Amino acid sequence: MNGAGLLLRKELLEQMRTLRLVMVVVVLAIFGGMSPLLAKLLPDIVKAAGAQAGGLSITMPPATTADAVAQLVKNLGQFGSLIAILVAMGAVATERERGTAGFVLTKPVGRSAFLAAKAAAIAVLLAAGVGAGYTFAWFYTAVLFEVLPLPGVIASAVALWLSLLALAAMTFLCSVLARSALVAGGAGFVALIVTSIVSAFPIVGPYMPTALWKPAVDLALGTDPGSVVGPAVASVAFVAGCLGLAAAAFRRQEL
């Protein structure tokens, strides 16, 4: 893949110049840092809301470390999914609309290298965001609850990142197939909804990308994550399949 390294540097530099990298890192860092704080304050918030609603007495058990980690995975999983769609939907479609894709490919750069650089840049962007979210969450969880085992936290972050990468890969494929970034983004949101629905089925659900969220919680807590290999392997295969289909389709397109 001639020129892939050079194109990757170009993509990463563009992410920094457009502040896309900064915004993703800041947003996920905020949601990551807020997660243990929200888990800690939730019982008091519910109690206060009940008191204001006619003096209802609502009692919740004190927040635990497990609550903080579950809130973290939920927040980063949900908002990270939206970010994965937004950063991937225009990866190819926008450049094709502007005509910049054809210009780049007039250079001694292969189409596979072009796609590989964009996919790798998206993966780096999501990794930076998830890493920032987990870093702030780890710190505030240590302050408010207890110190989480660092190896488990890292493994949890990788599992969550892989689930987001699968959704980004699907949207990336749509960005190659569609002529508009909006169409690709719409297809990505549909894929997110379908994934949420299919995850409820007992046969297919354990192999969906969102099936990595529960093991992500267990890994961060240092407990047995159960079946993590199945959804992890399925997600890797799904990402590879989407990228393979994207490359095959892109080779046949006229720019």
pLDDT tens per residue across all 255 residues of the chain: 556 778 888 888 988 898 999 999 999 999 999 999 988 887 666 666 555 555 555 666 778 899 999 999 999 999 999 999 999 998 887 777 766 666 566 566 677 888 888 999 999 999 999 999 999 999 999 999 999 999 999 999 999 999 999 999 999 999 888 878 888 889 889 988 888 888 888 888 888 898 999 999 999 998 887 778 889 999 999 999 999 999 898 888 766
What pLDDT is recorded for position 60? Answer: 67
Q: Are 117 and 13 in contact (CB under 8 A)?
A: no
Q: Among residues 31, 221, 248, which one has the least CA distance to residue 134? A: 31
| Interhelix angle 65-89/181-198, nearest 10 degrees | 150
Enter the DSSP assignment of 207: G
What pLDDT is recorded for position 107? Answer: 62
Cβ-based neighbours of 199, under 8 Å, separated by 6 or more: 205, 208, 210, 211
Domain parsing of the chain, residue ranges: 4-251
Cα gap 110→117, rounded to integer Å = 11
What pLDDT is recorded for position 49? Answer: 59
Which string of DSSP letters, residue by residue, matches 105-148? TTSS--HHHHHHHHHHHHHHHHHHHHHHHHHHHHHHHHHHT-PP
Q: Among residues 132, 144, 147, which one has the least CA distance to residue 222? A: 147
What pLDDT is recorded for position 75? Answer: 94
Q: Mark 171-188 as b/e (b = at least 16 C-beta within 10 Å).
A: bbbbbbbbeebeebbbbb
Cα gap 52→73, rounded to integer Å = 30
For residue 64, count CB atoms less than 10 angstroms from its CB and return exposed for 0-12, middle for 13-18, buried for 19 or more. Answer: middle
For residue 16, count CB atoms less than 10 angstroms from its CB and return exposed for 0-12, middle for 13-18, buried for 19 or more. Answer: exposed
Sign of the CA dihedral with 90 first, then 96, 98, and 103 last: positive
What pLDDT is recorded for position 72? Answer: 94
Write down how long the chain is. Answer: 255
H or E stretch at 206: none
